Amino acid sequence: MPVFDEIDHIIPATKLKPAKLLSLKAGRWTIQLTMAVQLNKIFKELLELRDQNQLGSLTFDEIAVGVFYGTKDTLTDKYDILRGINRGANHAVSDLTNDVHLYVGSEFWRWLNDGEEQTQEWVLEGIMQGFKTAEESMGSLAELLTAFRTEFSQQFQAFVGSDQTIDWKAIIKKING
């Protein structure tokens, strides 16, 4: 069904929790006004189909919009608009705030893993392990990493130690809270 085009995952129901629909976004600039209004319409249609029992055996209690990085206070107003909240200009959107929830940065990772506080740190550890595994199978990534570190250090010098190590955990805390 086209109404599911903006849903990235269905989080299955468990004995303790109903299913949830998840729409993933990268960060604060991932959506613009036209997309925010369109998401509001699509989410409204999904909720109406759910309430009319027209989704077959699929039931869900919320549509979650998960934003990989950032904090709510750094997002554009487009994330409010997709939930039906107008901050200034009046857009043709429906109030979906009871059924569409927004989870951002560390809050998103925590929500995704049933409230586990350390989830974003575990994801970061997995990424770092991935780099180690890639080097073991492909050889040195030094040239690629050197270019990345140079660019990175220009933007995040406060997180680069005198020995050129990067404090990734402090960065993720600053970005995601």
- In this prediction, residue 34 carries a pLDDT of 95
Residue spans of alpha helices (H) in 63-167: 78-81, 106-112, 119-138, 142-155
- In this prediction, residue 48 carries a pLDDT of 97
Map tokens 């409010």 to a residue: 80
Map tokens 């406060």 to a residue: 158
Structure tokens at 162: 């005198």
Report the distance separating Cα 68 and Cα 26, nearest Å: 5
**Contact, 82 vs 65, CB < 8 A?**
yes
Taking each helix axis as running N to C, give the angle between helix 168-176 and helix 119-138, from 0 to 180 degrees, rounded to the nearest 10.
Answer: 140
Mean pLDDT of the 66-83 span: 95
Q: Which amino acid is at 36?
A: A
Residue 84 has pLDDT above 90, yes or no: yes
**Contact, 47 vs 95, CB < 8 A?**
no
The angle subtended at Cα 152 by Cα 169 and Cα 127, nearest 5°, is 45
- In this prediction, residue 148 carries a pLDDT of 82
Indicate the SS3 state at residue 103.
Answer: strand
Residue 13 has pLDDT above 80, yes or no: yes
Cα→Cα distances 78→34, 69, 98, Å: 9, 16, 17
Average the pLDDT over each of 32-36, 88-92, 103-107 and give the range with the smallest value: 88-92
Report the distance separating Cα 40 and Cα 93, nearest Å: 6
Cα→Cα distances 110→21, 164, 167, 174, Å: 16, 30, 21, 16
Residue 33 has pLDDT above 90, yes or no: yes
| pTM of the predicted model as reported, rounded to 2 decimal places | 0.79
Q: What is the pLDDT of residues 129-151, one digit of tens each?
A: 998 998 898 888 888 888 887 88
